[in-house]
Chains A and B, each alone.
Chain A
Amino acid sequence: MTGSILFLLIIVLGGISWFFGRVKASRFSITHTKRGAVHSLPNYHGWYVALWAVGPALLFLVVWNFASPALITDAALASPAAEQLPQDAFAKGSILAEARSIASGQQVRAFNPLSQSMVEPYKTAISYYQTLGAIAAILLAFAGGVYSWLRLKPELRARTKIERITMMALLLASLIATITTVGIFASLIFESARFFSMVSPIDFLFGTEWNPKAVAGPRGETGFGAIPLFWGTVFIGAIIAMIVAIPLGLMSAIYLTQYAAPRFRAWMKPILEVLAGVPTVVYGYFAALTVAPALRDFAVSIGISGASSESALAAGVVMGIMIIPFVSSMADDSIAAVPSAMRDGSLAMGATKSETIKKVLIPAALPGVVGGVLLAVSRAIGETMIVVMAAGLAANMTANPFSSVTTVTTQIVQLLTGDQEFDSPKTLAAFALGLVLFIVTLLLNLIALRVVKKYREAYE
């Protein structure tokens, strides 16, 4: 019996329990006619029984899922076939893993003949424990349903109980976000700690040579200096992209909010927002296919040396385009938050619209705009696909926008794709880079949100 069928079966049992609970409870109102004698509506009684049926059974299944693999392995090892297994724990482990994946259908054929011999014991053990678990779960569902059904009484506070459980569910759901954050932080820290036990953090953060391929031994490696990556990230995300996005985004926002006719605004605003909805892989492809070759040809034609077909400029410009609507909407919000009295005050003195915008609105909106730009930077440096596809892999420390540079995100992708074991410093370096990226974007966001919040409060 597969997991999903079992799951469905338990849900069906829950449905049946709900029905019987309801039926029993709806009789109460016939026998107990006095107002207030029946505490809860039949529906709540139904849910009460259903939860008793489904809850414990599912809980058991979750626990069983974690506990049974160990039991299965023990059972398989106890079989006669296990006697031929080598004593070496490592070899034994790999044979067992292979046998298990064949038995569960994930793998078709064994590479090791010993594994093949273990498949049968595994299959027996798996089906034995699966059946055991399934029967236990169904029995539990029955027991829970019957027990709670017997307990149904007119004065049972079924609604209160159901509401308390719902409340728990709500609380649990909202905890997921926190758990995720903690999970991100913990996994990054944990893997990074393993990395830093192999490579000194100083070398990593301040080293200028990035060449993880050169790693030879397990200790004292070189080639993990991340400064060129940091520079590439800043160069593309915080410099080139912003040079494109800030003027275009800001001026678009100004035109749309201050000058455009309502119809024009109603059309143009969504069109600009489409720019933010285009998937980054599409931008990356566009950058690599169209923008980068054009820029390289241009650079060659004006005689710039070191022009490469993957360039910081191509990635940065396209990323800037992607960020335009982001900057634009932040600027839009900030300008809209400036009290109109300020604008009227300036206009009433005979300032032209552009003078009002340049000398009153923008200075007044500046904190909000700066906050928005910080958020945009944080988004740009975390952007992956555009740089993976258009910026290149060469860890250059160059300010020449036509040459290829690499970024933190590019290298994370580079390090984690392809086959390598999980303990090599090369793989773990990706987590260290991820940790740096996470901390930097987190700080940028916190600062930006604080700036924007302060600014909003100033005008409330």
Chain B
Amino acid sequence: MMELIDSTSSSESPTMTESSVPAISAGDGPLKMTTRNVDVFYGDKQAINDVSIDVTMDNVTAFIGPSGCGKSTFLRCLNRMNDTIPIAKVTGEITLEGEDIYAPKMDVVQLRARVGMVFQKPNPFPKSIYDNIAYGPRIHGLASTKEDLDNIVETSLQRAGLWREVQDRLQDSGTALSGGQQQRLCIARAIAVDPEVILMDEPCSALDPIATAKIEELIHELRGKYAIVIVTHNMQQAARVSQRTAFFHLGTLVEYGVTSDIFTNPTQEKTRDYITGRYG
């Protein structure tokens, strides 16, 4: 586990501003998504206050913070899943490849295909494993023939490291798999629509340690192919899987930087308190 952190800490040091205003950019690698001055309101209540973060292609970005700090809310802004909550209102600018995703001409259906999402609890559809994976390609028309579809299903399952476990029982129900397998199925399902970014909302919180280790390994393998953003409760997990970490507290972004720096040498008092376990 420590090797992971070592390998990332050897990369070039991030740009950090001296002031208490958190750094926006923490990255190397091509920019994938940017957010500027994002506020989120639930009715009258402000859930996110002025958050600016860049997400880069080659890094896994982790959002950490105490529960209720807004990290999941913010994650759901990145593929406009907050649209499903009628009272939620998002202001500020969020871009994907330079396009404003809240612009009227941005198509939310395509956006969500490009920015996939994996949820806290594995949520396979009550369909066969095959149909679970094929669902996305079918609705988006990504496969013109049966062979294409088979191919996509196989590739996605392979990437999610599930192929060898399920290749003989693709017609079994997705809900019959174990929790860890279900979550990998959900990751495969997200991969199947060929996303550019994968958002993971506490993907391991419902899993046992062994299944968690497998998912973490998978995240490690997927890094570089997709920009990955992961919300986690578990600081060790953030340290293990991510190269960039953002610390949220009470709806604001307290600190954003290279993971190893955040964990070993945070610039903010609050971050230090959280990491050393004063509150959380």
Contacts and interface: CB of A to CB of B under 8 A. Distances in A.
Q: CB atoms of A and B under 8 A apart anywhere in the complex?
A: yes
Interface of A: 261-262, 339, 341-352, 355, 359-360, 363-364
A349 B119 contact: no
Nearest to B126: A364
A339 B116 contact: no
Contacts of B190: 348-349
17 contacts: A341-B123, A344-B84, A344-B119, A345-B123, A348-B81, A348-B117, A348-B190, A349-B112, A349-B113, A350-B109, A350-B140, A351-B109, A351-B135, A351-B136, A355-B139, A359-B135, A363-B125
B84 A347 contact: yes
Interface in B213-246: none
Contact of B111 (A262, A350, A352, A359): A350
A360 B135 CA distance: 9
A342 B139 contact: no
A349 B189 contact: yes
Contacts of A346: 125, 135
A132 B116 CA distance: 89
Contacts of B186: 345
Interface of B: 79, 81, 84, 86, 109-114, 116-117, 119, 121, 123-127, 135-136, 139-140, 186, 189-190, 193
Contact of B139 (A261, A348, A349): A349
B120 to A, nearest CB: 8
A365 to B, nearest CB: 10
Given A262-B86, A341-B123, A348 B79 contact: yes
A349 B193 contact: yes
A341 B126 contact: no
A364 B114 CA distance: 26
Contacts of A350: 109-114, 136, 139-140, 193
Given A341-B121, A349-B113, A349-B136, 12 more contacts: A342-B123, A343-B84, A344-B81, A345-B119, A346-B135, A348-B117, A349-B112, A349-B193, A350-B109, A350-B193, A351-B139, A359-B139
A350 B137 CA distance: 10
B106 to A, nearest CB: 12
Nearest to A343: B84
A364 B113 CA distance: 22
Nearest to B193: A349
Contacts of A347: 81, 84, 112
A262 B109 CA distance: 24
Contacts of B84: 343-344, 347
A98 B238 CA distance: 95
Give the 4 A-B residue pairs with the shortest CB-CB distance, closest first. A350-B113, A348-B117, A341-B123, A350-B112
B127 A348 contact: no
Contacts of A344: 81, 84, 117, 119, 123
Nearest to A352: B109
B270 to A, nearest CB: 31
A342 B109 CA distance: 17
Contacts of B139: 349-352, 355, 359
Contacts of B127: 363
A342 B140 contact: no
Contacts of B140: 350
A278 B135 CA distance: 43
A279 B186 CA distance: 50
Contact of A342 (B79, B110, B112, B125): B125
B55 to A, nearest CB: 17
A90 to B, nearest CB: 69
B96 to A, nearest CB: 13
Contacts of B114: 350
B125 A345 contact: yes
Contacts of B123: 339, 341-342, 344-345
A343 B84 CA distance: 10
B142 to A, nearest CB: 11
Contacts of A363: 125-127
Contact of A349 (B121, B126, B135): B135
The CB with the most chain B CB atoms within 10 A, among A339, A343, A346, A352, is that of A346
A450 to B, nearest CB: 19
Nearest to A342: B123
Given A345-B186, A348-B119, A349-B193, A360 B113 contact: no
A341 B202 CA distance: 14
